[in-house]
A and B are shown apart, each in its own frame.
Chain A
């Protein structure tokens, strides 16, 4: 007959055995470099590798555009971007490069719209430490844009293009300011 006292003693014993087993399992796993479980679960490593692959793919994909840009062939670079966009629609990097070219050509409204679209798609471009960061470049465009576009708006408050650009500028300004996003 299993009395309550004996049952309780068995439960305490089971608790001790389970605790000892837990410690043993953890200590053995920590001492072993070939723990199959940790390999399966190392999501952080997988995540880092995926990200690096993405950066490498972007550099390869948009390499020709960068080359054209360095050669000062902005129009050809825009055409190349349009060509890539057909294969990879909605890719943020293309929008950022487009913004960069448009800013160089002085098309501020279009540049701001492209930058805003790119940053909305991927916030990497406004990070301080990111291999894809374009923070300084975007910050410069936002700073000059806020002055020129607000002057245009002051002269003509009903200018819808300027209103839309101002909204995008505030968005970019907010993203550059930081926050938990």
Chain B
């Protein structure tokens, strides 16, 4: 853990802190249609024309059932479209390598994966997908699934902040405004920056060159930069290439690496500030921010520590104790890899710049735990915030039980229905992850997919289903998941993980918006400051720890003790 790592950590944290409020202010211009801003001059005409085309009344709010219906209809029409594009790839344009259509189960897995903001890669980008599939089939979901997440988060915050039947807002209005005002301009600028650093952006067929030593090498080509920009900003994480952001064409240097990591957190951090602003309690927003930041810091320090220590078995073979270099790129180094791994799983991004499968047991435990905590550490765009709101409701409810008072959040009583919805959201995640892992681990097709035997094999399966249900998309990449069983069960996990949270939180918000608001009294539990922060932190950690600890003991924890205290190999 060298000085340069600390310097990079300090710079990253400083940039994140500095970016939070400006991003929040930007989001306010996007998510508060009643507020006028300088953006209106450029954006309003385009937005109005779109609303007319859609045939909607942009100002008319929906109730929570309307939200559920429109979110589901929108996501499923996109899903079916992408499924069709992938099946028919062979007949579609922009396919210089002549790739054929995907198998039904791979097409299904990939379509679900992108529609749910997971971006799990059962395929290898450069060896499976045409430019058309990448652009039209997949990159569109990078935008729309991210916008869906932001819109749902906005609806939930509105439902908690205000009272009335239609305060949740209008999904179509949000969707359009998020694209026009936020994602498209931001992604365009970020994509150009990435190209300037060396990320490729062209439509050439793969280039065959004769190298300096006379061998033939095929260089992959394609429209990568436009897709990579939104994959990071939208916390999607589906790479253009097989190895994702470890590929030099996707992430060419230290600067592109740092800004890609920062871009994962940019919108989620801004949303936390916007929530505080919307609740007229910015201290609440900042308290939540600090809780998230503490969890991030703990994760990155643990992962960095174990990766910097390296693998004692490898060091014993006569290599220098410079950390665990298997699966890492020289230009990022140990810290740059540990930071990326932590942030990509704090959020539901799932891009990787090093091979998590080759991490040390406890270095690799960090991304796994991050996902199991529900990805509420800034989290996926939108998804992290509404996930955290579930924990806030649960935390205040628990605190209320302990002191024997009716729990209140923002002046409204937390009642049975609210706690039920919060519990459904949390339990479905745990149920999906653990049951599906158990099924795969105890069947022959499940065991056949693992690349590493012993406890690491279980970690690979656990990681896959954790990642799917948490809509992350990163992997212990050794697992051969491109088989019908894995593809379909992972797709099921992804759908469950997405819908079993979105529907209950929308119901929760809808219910909150109908409650009587009582002014804060002397007995009101304050939702800012250290007491609330610690309560929230412990709620997140305890729920996660109790649920997943047994599985983790059988995987990475056991492997750690075998690595340091035995001479077994697998």
Q: Do A and B bind each other?
A: no
